[in-house]
């Protein structure tokens, strides 16, 4: 049932504050002092490396998690696309852990990757939304995302629920490795508790995203740029846009654009810059200024600081709430979802059932 929404995707975007609140509750102790996870049983101090394997949007959730785990837990992490990983058959470290991420828990390549990792002696974790799925059964430990059934082919709430599970997981691993103390854990939990409201505040900007989306809807090509935690969100923005609008879109690390992609910049190509404030803002601004100087149509999605810095150089800009860097991916994920959704509505495509795509990819 779509409720008052025109599409399941819209309903699922709007459900996200509730979904992430539920996921947050599932991962935290009642007094909010501690992350609870079945993966606590692993001796994380002796784990040499975590390998994360997934496809599509789940892979991009894993990419965000890599950054969190490296930063908060100081754990070496590799992130892999399942279809490459499983056939490359890479050597895996003794005592290593492999985490596969899948909404459906049935994606053939992700399942193949899980089986390869198990056979190679890794401890395996499966973060799945469908808890009765094959991946949930075959992983040594199954972790649930708690998103509820996702109907739209374009993943939205499953992605942000994966992020909540992965953020909590990162904090738990940091604690187990001694990278944070009890106060650090409590602070991180307090920050995560603000995610539902942050996402609701972003959804409250929907009209602004819809207005920008209608302008992007006439483009034949679009670029998404971001650094650090915004790099995987830029990739997800491009994936979401191409998936449901059929506009050609690419995501790039902002610092990489001068190594080739800047040649694509012209007056017809929107460049969507994800610019939260933080350590990387100055670096990103200089990349974006290079685009603007070449008459690129820069659409800034950022908080007040970035928007003030760019001023007239931006073609369009949409305000984002300011928040702790740890939780920026949640807010910017909503932003790129709303952009893709409204661009698809403007183009009149089949939002919930885009051409050539299936919800669960059980072929290799």
Residue 58 or 92: the one with the smaller Cβ distance to ligand M6R is 58
CA distances from 209 to 45, 205, 294 (A): 44, 7, 24
First vs last Cα of the chain: how many Å apart? Answer: 31
Q: Which residues pair with 299 in a beta bridge?
A: 272, 316
Site size toward ligand M6R (CB under 6 A) is 15
Contact (CB, 8 A) for 81 and 113 = no
Nearer to ligand M6R, 57 or 245 (CB): 57
Q: Pick one of 153, 161, 163, 179: the residue that binds ligand M6R (CB under 6 A).
A: 153
Instruction: Tell me how far, at minimum, the Cβ of 64 lies from ligand M6R, in Å.
Output: 14
Site string for ligand M6R, 194-233 (x = CB under 6 A): ----------------------------------------
**Residues 56, 96, 126, 329: which binds ligand M6R (CB under 6 A)?**
56
Among 140, 243, 250, 309, binds ligand M6R (CB under 6 A): 243
- Strand 221-226 versus strand 248-253 pairing type: parallel
Note whether 160 binds ligand M6R by CB under 6 A.
no
Q: What's the min distance (Å) between Cβ of 231 and ligand M6R?
A: 17
Q: How far is the CB of 272 from ligand M6R (least distance, A)?
A: 17
Kind of pairing, strands 270-275 and 50-54? unpaired
Query: What's the min distance (Å) between Cβ of 333 and ligand M6R?
Result: 12
Residue 316 near residue 189 (C-beta atoms within 8 A): no
Asked if residue 51 lies in contact with residue 99, where contact means CB atoms within 8 angstroms, the answer is yes
Q: What does the alpha-carbon distance between residue 199 and residue 15 come to, in Å, rounded to a whole number?
A: 10
Q: Which is nearer to ligand M6R, 155 or 160 (CB)?
A: 155
Query: What Å distances lie between residue 307 and 285, 311, 317, CA to CA?
Result: 10, 6, 7
361 binds ligand M6R (CB under 6 A): yes
> Using an 8 Å Cβ cutoff, are 237 and 339 in contact?
yes
Is 98 an interacting residue with respect to ligand M6R (CB under 6 A)? no
Does residue 359 have an active-site annotation?
A: yes
Query: Rounded to whole angstroms, how far apart are CA atoms 193 and 236?
Result: 24
Taking CB under 6 A as the rule, does residue 155 contact ligand M6R? yes
Chain residues that interact with ligand M6R, rule: CB under 6 A: 55-58, 102-104, 107, 110, 153-155, 243, 360-361
Catalytic residues: 359
């Amino acid at each position: 049932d779509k409720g008052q929404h025109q599409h399941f995707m819209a309903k699922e975007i709007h459900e996200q504050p509730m979904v992430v609140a539920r996921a947050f509750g599932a991962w935290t102790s009642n007094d909010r002092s501690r992350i609870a996870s079945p993966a606590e049983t692993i001796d994380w101090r002796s784990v040499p490396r975590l390998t994360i394997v997934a496809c599509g949007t789940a892979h991009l959730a894993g990419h965000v998690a890599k950054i969190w785990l490296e930063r908060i837990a100081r754990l070496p992490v590799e992130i892999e696309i399942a279809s490459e990983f499983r056939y490359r058959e890479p050597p895996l470290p003794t005592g290593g852990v492999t985490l596969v991420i899948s909404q459906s828990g049935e994606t053939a390549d992700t399942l193949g990757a899980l089986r390869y990792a198990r056979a190679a002696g890794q401890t395996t974790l499966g973060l799945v939304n469908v808890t009765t799925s094959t991946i949930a059964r075959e992983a040594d430990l199954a972790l649930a995302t708690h998103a509820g059934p996702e109907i739209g082919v374009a993943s939205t709430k499953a992605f942000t629920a994966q992020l909540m599970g992965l953020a909590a997981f990162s904090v738990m691993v940091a604690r187990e490795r001694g990278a944070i103390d009890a106060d650090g854990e409590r602070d991180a939990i307090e920050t995560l508790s603000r995610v539902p409201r942050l996402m609701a505040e972003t959804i409250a900007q929907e009209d602004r995203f819809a207005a920008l989306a209608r302008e992007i809807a006439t483009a034949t090509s679009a670029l998404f740029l971001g650094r650090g935690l915004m790099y995987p969100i830029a990739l997800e923005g491009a994936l979401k846009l191409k998936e449901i609008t059929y506009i050609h879109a690419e995501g790039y690390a902002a610092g990489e654009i001068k190594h080739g992609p800047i040649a694509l910049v012209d007056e017809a190509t929107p460049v969507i810059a994800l610019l939260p404030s933080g350590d990387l803002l100055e670096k990103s601004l200089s990349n974006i200024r290079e685009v603007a100087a070449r008459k690129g149509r820069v659409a800034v999605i950022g908080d007040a600081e970035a928007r003030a810095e760019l001023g007239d150089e931006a073609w369009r800009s949409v305000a984002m709430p300011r928040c702790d860097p740890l939780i920026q991916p949640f807010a910017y994920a909503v932003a790129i979802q709303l952009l893709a959704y409204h661009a698809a509505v403007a183009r009149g495509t089949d939002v919930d059932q885009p051409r050539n795509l299936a919800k669960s990819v059980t072929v290799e």
